[in-house]
Structure formats: C-alpha cells, structure tokens
Structure 1
Amino acid sequence: MATYVLVHGGSHGGWCYQRVARRLRSAGHDVYAPTLTGVGERAHLLGPDIDLDAHITDVVQVLRYEDLDDVILVGHSYGGMVITGVADRALDRVGHLVYLDAATPANGQSLADLAPELMAASRASARVIDGVELVNFPGEGPMPHYGLTDPDDIAWLAPKITPHPWKCFAQPLRLENEASLRGIPQSQIVCTSTLPHRDPADLEPARTAGRLWDIDTGHDLMITEPEAVADLLRQVAAV
C-alpha cells in the first residue's frame, strides 16, 4: 500500500482528482487530495497574503498533521511549483515526486518565468477584487477549459473553477535544500502535445530512470484519462 498526496493546479481544487483517487483507493492505497487556500471549496479564505509560500505550507501541514511518510507527492500544472517547495521543506516525508503535466522549477524561478507567454495571457484578463489580483476566471484565459473537449467533462469542470491569485504565479520559489531535493526519485507524466515545448533537462532525471510517460490528451489529464493516470501512479508505487 502506498500513500499519495495529489496537489492540484491553478484555479482547481482537490475535487479535480476524484476519478483518479477513486481508482487508487480501490486498489488499497491511501489518497489525500487537499485544496489549496483561496480556491475551490476554500475560496472563501482568499486574501492578499495568499501566495506560493502559503500553498506550500498548506501541503506541508497535511503531511505533518496526518503523520504521513514516504509519500508519493503528485503535482499537476502549477502544483509542480507547490510540490517542489513541499519536498524542500519536508524532505523526510517525501519518497517520490510525480510531475503531472507540471512545472518543474529550479531555485529562484516562478511559474511566470517558466511559462511567460501563457502567464502573460492569463494576466491580460486580471481583475482586482477585494485587494487581490486574480486571474484565470471561469471560462477565460488562454485555457478556458484546460484541454477538455467532452461536453460532459466541461459541464462538470466549469462550475468548480475559481479565479486564482496572481501572486502565486509571480512569486519565485525559494529552496533551501536543493541538492537533497534533487536526490528524491521523480517521475514525469506529461501530455504528448507539450513534450516538444519542454526543456529536455527538466525531463532527463525521469527519462534516465525510465519514468517519463506521455498521454495523448488535454492538460487536465486526471479528468480526461483517469485510468491511464492511475495506472502510471500505481507503477510508481511498485518501483
């Protein structure tokens, strides 16, 4: 039995992993899918202090208060920023990192640095509400439906999307234990369409270890291909 902590991307919540989590739990694994502060069902906690550090702390606290060890930590999209920071701060609790079509940052990089064109397009429609600069409103931005094409999937996704604080995307990640962090085994599960646009160096550790996989689907692959994603996550646990 393995323990998975599934971290969502921008404007989503733990809800986006329902289909994957169901499959992993049915195989006997423990699964946690926390929602980051200020989005999803925790949107009512949105405030001007919500940034990348706050989201890293959200997940670190889950690991500590649930007494989780040897965790397979999975991050989708912006969640790659979060899980990298979590592993840096909780090295003794993380056994494997899985980047799910996700950002793979180095020390000092922000998501805006890693995906400048996409983030610029997101910020172009920013609005300030209650003192918080928000982007990626439902149905807006460069990926209004996050790669979903099935009408039923879109109908399920659309009412759950919440705008995301821009501060999270602009804040550089600060690592204190980068050398040790890079020693944690990692896997990459990416969308086939994004492979040509990725830095080969970011993928090399997973490729060398035989844990680089691609799925021909849209960005929200945990929604469109939950069986394939769950199967690959089970393979990670079996290594």
Structure 2
Amino acid sequence: MSPSSPRVLVVDDDAAIREALDRALRGEGFAVRTADGGRSGLREAAAFAPDAIVLDVAMPDLNGRAVCARLRAGGDRVPILILSARDEVDDRVAGLQAGADDYLVKPFAFAELVARLRALLRRAAEEHAAAATPATECPDDLVAGDLTVVLADRTARRGARAIDLTRREFDLLEALARHTGIVLSREQLLQQVWGYDFAVEGNVVDVFVGYLRRKLEAEGEPRLIQTVRGVGFVLRAEP
C-alpha cells in the first residue's frame, strides 16, 4: 500500500458520479483513477494496482459482481466498496457474495464514503502487516460444537464439511468464535471486523450474518449464530 497517497480506483458508468468522486477524493488526498465500466475497471485495476476500489454494481458491459468475482479469483485482495441504488438489492447482495468488503447505498454522504474507505484501508494495512510478521507458532483453532475455525489458513468447517467463506465472512466468523457465548453488538462487530469506529448507515453486519448462517446451515445443521434482539449477535455451540 502507498505510504502517502492511497490509490483509489472508481468504477462507475455514470459520468457525473465518476467525476464528482474523482474531484472530491483528490481533495481528500487520494490518488484517483476512474473507469467507465466493468471491463475497463479490470484493465485499470491491473495497470493501477489500487489500494481500494469503489465499484458500482449495475453496469451494462460487465456488472460489479462479475468484476469482483474475477478480481478475487485472480487472488486480488484489494478492499472493495460497492455502490448500489436502493432498488438494486439483488445486485448489492451478489456483489458482497462475490467478495466485496462493504456496500454503500446511493444516494450517500461523501463524508461517509471517505470514512469507510479509510477504515477499509487501515484494516487492509493491519492484515498485511500481520501476514508479513513471522509466526512463532501456529495459532490454535477456534472450536464451538461441531464448528472449527482454522486460523492458520483462514478456513472453517462444520463437522467434516468445509465451508467456503469470503475474507470478510471469515473475519466475522472469527470474531464471533473468539467470543463464543458472549453477545457482541453491531458496533463492536463493525469495529472488530471492518475497523469502523464511527456510526454507519445500512445493515452490513446483518447482511453478512445472513450469509454466514446460510453457509453454516447449508446441510440443515442447527443454528449457531443467534440474534439477541436490540443488542447484537452471539455464537452458541448449543442453540
């Protein structure tokens, strides 16, 4: 990651949004490049090597879900913040399932977009530093009932069944598994998993919990992640 000006790639087929974000992000000290569609976004991502991507989901040539999926399939772990109109719920969900880290609904406050970008960049820098630090010993697995979270290779399984998780899904599962039996508020999860130490709009925690539940319960297994109404979520080995 750049030591000074973080590189941000903005991919959106709406010229007005592209130009507004380009101008505003430069004013906040980011180095910005833009692309007007999914295919050009992939080309720019390869050439520009951005530190973060702001990605629209609904584009005519190649949608954001496909862009995200191709980047992740190629091993690119760049933080991706997707943008979605309110009536594009399916596109937003598909983008997150393809490996995006967060989403923001249009219209949005520019200040929140900047805050989310900075938080995702901080989180990515912390993960990079942790990965570069030689491990003195293998970390212990986290076990809750028939769930095993393997920290060494960031995998998880339910019994003998392997669970395919995106990076952010794994981070959320790890946070819950580290506090088995303890209720974590949405604010705590936003801070631990996304690095957000500020209030955000939307229900990103609830959305990712929903993804995790579907994957953890794909073969009819009992529910592990419980909702505590008005408080947050808790992982319990015995529902």
TM > 0.5 between the two?
no
The structure that is helix-richer by fraction is: 1
State the TM-score, normalized to the length of structure 2. Answer: 0.37
The structure that is strand-richer by fraction is: 2
